[in-house]
Amino acid sequence: MTKVNITETELKELVEDVIIEIEDAIEELDNEIDYESSDGILTIFMANKSQIIINRQTAALQIWLAAKSGGYHFDYVEDANTGQRDWKNDRTGESFFDALNRCLTEQSDEKIELDLG
């Protein structure tokens, strides 16, 4: 995986696309998760009053995810073999959407899997 060079403008557009995709997926769920978004920050409100916060980090050109289990940073990378681009954890390589679904499940009393990516 190679980090893709993107501009701040491209980062803003990419993160906005991710946030819209998450919002749409939450709307499809049949549970008590709610959300609020503003200027590149998405706050997900769980039924148990915990929160997950997703935001763009312009200086690092990353998406950050804050959950009870910790803070995670994701780079926009490209697979050299396939050319596919995705957001990957800068330490573990876990995909952003996998990490989000894992955190949603960890912070709720049920398995939650948003239909993403």
Instruction: Please give the pLDDT value at position 109.
Output: 76
Across 8-113, the runs of DSSP E, i.e. the strands, are 34-38, 41-45, 51-57, 62-67, 70-78, 85-89
DSSP class of residue 92?
Answer: T
Instruction: Please give the pLDDT value at position 63.
Output: 97
Count how many domains the chain has: 1
Residue 117 lies in a domain: no
Residue 84 is part of which domain span?
Answer: 2-106
Instruction: Please give the pLDDT value at position 73.
Output: 98
Residues of the chain predicted below pLDDT 50: none
Whether 35 and 43 have beta carbons less than 8 Å apart is answered as yes
Instruction: Encode pLDDT of 23-38 as tens digits.
Output: 999 999 877 899 999 9
CATH number at residue 26: 3.30.920.10
Please calculate the CA angle 53-54-56 and round it to the nearest 5 degrees. Answer: 140
Token pair 């960890």 is found at 106
